[in-house]
């Protein structure tokens, strides 16, 4: 756990309620400021600031993030109508929390850029 990282604190159960999903490698929880009816964040339990820090050792967990997103989309009932997965990587992309996370958004029609 990295001190002062809000997502590390959520993974450790020190902030927020019970996560939607958690296993040894990943945690999923609701975005505090949802941009769509379903807006879930999926994070690696291990602190990785961004994709820039990922290595081949992270290959499996990065793949599992996508599989978990698909599972949660099914659980939320939005798999068929469609959903969007977003990673904001770096400052100019709008990354605000520097702990790698995947946004799972759905439940409304998306435009190209939002």
Q: Which residues are catalytic?
A: 101
| 97 touches ligand AMP by CB under 6 A | yes
Q: Which does 5 bind (CB under 5 to 8 A by kind): Zn ion, ligand AMP, none?
A: Zn ion
In this structure, the number of other CB atoms found within 10 A of the CB of residue 107 comes to 16
Name the one residue in this structure whose structure tokens are 């850029």.
Answer: 113
User: Are the beta carbons of 60 and 97 closer than 8 angstroms?
Assistant: no
Name the one residue in this structure whose structure tokens are 């990785």.
Answer: 48
Among 31, 58, 75, 76, binds ligand AMP (CB under 6 A): 31
Interface positions with ligand AMP (CB under 6 A): 6, 15-16, 29, 31-33, 41, 88, 94-97
């Amino acid at each position: 756990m990295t001190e002062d990282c809000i997502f590390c604190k959520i993974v450790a159960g020190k902030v927020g309620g019970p996560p939607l999903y958690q296993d040894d490698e990943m945690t999923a929880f609701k975005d505090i400021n949802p941009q769509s009816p379903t807006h879930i964040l999926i994070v690696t339990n291990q602190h990785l600031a961004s994709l820039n820090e990922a290595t081949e050792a992270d290959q499996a967990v990065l793949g599992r993030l996508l599989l978990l997103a698909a599972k949660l989309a099914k659980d939320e009932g939005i798999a068929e109508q469609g959903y969007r997965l977003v990673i904001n990587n770096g400052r100019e992309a709008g990354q605000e929390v520097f702990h790698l996370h995947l946004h799972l958004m759905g439940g409304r029609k998306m435009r190209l850029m939002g």
